[in-house]
Amino acid sequence: MACALPGTIVHYALGHGAMGRPPAVAWAILVLDALFVGYLALLISGANYVVAARVAAAKGVSLGV
């Protein structure tokens, strides 16, 4: 949660910032947002993997990776 929340705030801010802008500016902001969401997806997936790996290690279970 601590890993995803700051990025989610930036994502929402970019979406909100695109509202009411001229189309060219809105598209530029939304393209930037789309790139950021790709990064955010990797960040959240990585955080989920780290949590799962730590839990599995504590339980003595292999993730099979």
Instruction: Please write the tens of the pLDDT for every residue from 30-64.
Output: 999 999 999 999 999 999 999 999 999 999 998 88
* 22 domain residue, yes or no: yes
Q: Please report whether residue 16 resides in a domain.
A: yes
- Residue written as tokens 């929402």? 12
For residue 11, tell me if it sits in a domain.
yes
The answer to whether position 64 is within a domain reads no
Is 63 inside a domain boundary?
Answer: no
Total structural domains within the chain: 1
Residue 65 lies in a domain: no
Residue 8 to residues 5, 42, 52: CA-CA distances in angstroms? 5, 13, 21
Closest CA to 16 of 6, 4, 30, 28: 30
Per-residue pLDDT tens digits for 23-39 = 999 999 999 999 999 99
Residue 10 belongs to domain spanning:
4-58
Q: With left for phi above 0 and alpha for psi between -120 and 50, is residue 22 left, alpha or beta?
A: beta
Q: What is the pTM of this model?
A: 0.79
